[in-house]
């Protein structure tokens, strides 16, 4: 059995995030990766120098090509950039009956560059979130989607409840942007109970692409038929290892090490 996962996201010329990170993650977890590119970015570890979005028609054509021949056991979305692209992706997901959908609501690059137009946030909430099996916002993204200022774990739990009410069946509010304490805690909500995934906080600047990698790892595990909670646990371990064994390249926010989980384990 060959498991297949499709990433619908932007291209990162520096190789640390976007479809490049997704495809590396799929490969490392034993899943055949496919892609539909939404935008080409000129970026490196120092920042984003340019964003060149594709048309919604071009995105749809790529997805149709994959669906017509190869199919997908799971789908992951990343940088979608515009409301038109979001609506197109939502239409394609419904058309092809893809239920194992992981939505990483990418809004801002690690260096601060916007990767989602402001008017697209409403489309993301109304069109795509109701289709998501799993959504993986970081704290700033959860704030933007819910309108809540998140300062405490109670705030995170309330944000997760609101995101679940928007339609996502499993909500992961990541804790990497919470600077409080020696641990990072990712919160998972399934509509009835909360689970917490903890890891040691690592002081490093080499974290470019962690969000993309985390969501891609979840998608890869879902493609294999794993339960969402188990998929999140594996993704947490995969990213932790990728951060703990840095490549040490680039002058800015360097990429994580996608082969670390295979080479060094958790």
Third-level CATH fold of 4-132+206-264: 3.40.1190
Predicted confidence (pLDDT) per residue in 178-195, tens digit: 666 788 999 999 999 999
Percentage of the residues of the chain whose pLDDT score is greater than 90: 88
Predicted local confidence at residue 219, as pLDDT: 98
Buried b (16+ CB within 10 A) or exposed e, 55-85: ebeebbebbeebbeeeebbbbbbbbbbbbbb
The pTM score is 0.96
Question: CA 257, CA 261: separation in Å to the nearest integer?
Answer: 8
Token pair of 82, please?
A: 């515009």
Q: Is 260 exposed, middle or buried (0-12, 13-18, 19+ CB in 10 A)?
A: buried
- Catalytic residue numbers, as ranges: 174, 207, 209-212
For residue 108, name the pLDDT band (cuts at 50, 70, 90): confident
Is 176 a residue whose pLDDT tops 80? Answer: no
| Domain boundaries defined on the chain | 4-132+206-264
């Amino acid at each position: 059995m060959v498991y297949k996962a499709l990433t619908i996201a932007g291209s990162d010329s520096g190789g640390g995030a976007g479809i490049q990170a997704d495809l590396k993650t799929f490969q490392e977890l034993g899943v055949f990766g496919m892609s539909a590119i939404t935008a080409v970015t000129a970026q490196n570890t120092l920042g984003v120098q340019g964003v060149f979005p594709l048309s919604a028609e071009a995105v749809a054509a790529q997805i149709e090509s994959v669906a017509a021949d190869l199919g997908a056991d799971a789908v992951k979305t990343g940088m979608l950039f515009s409301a038109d692209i979001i609506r197109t992706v939502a239409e394609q997901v419904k058309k092809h009956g893809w239920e194992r959908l992981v939505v990483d609501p990418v809004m801002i690059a690690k260096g601060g560059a916007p990767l989602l137009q402001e008017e697209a946030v409403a489309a993301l909430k109304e069109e795509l979130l109701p289709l998501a099996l799993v959504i993986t916002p970081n704290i700033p993204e959860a704030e933007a989607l819910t309108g809540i200022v998140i300062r405490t774990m109670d705030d995170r739990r309330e944000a997760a409840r609101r995101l679940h009410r928007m339609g996502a069946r499993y909500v992961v509010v990541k804790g990497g942007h919470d600077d409080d304490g020696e641990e990072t805690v990712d919160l998972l909500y399934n509509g009835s109970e909360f689970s917490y995934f903890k890891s040691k906080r690592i002081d490093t600047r080499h974290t470019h692409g962690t969000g993309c990698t985390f969501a891609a790892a979840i998608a890869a595990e879902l493609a294999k038929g794993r339960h969402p909670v188990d998929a999140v646990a594996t993704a947490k371990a995969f990213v932790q290892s990728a951060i703990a064994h840095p490549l040490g390249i680039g002058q800015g926010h360097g990429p994580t090490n996608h082969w670390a989980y295979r080479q060094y384990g958790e």
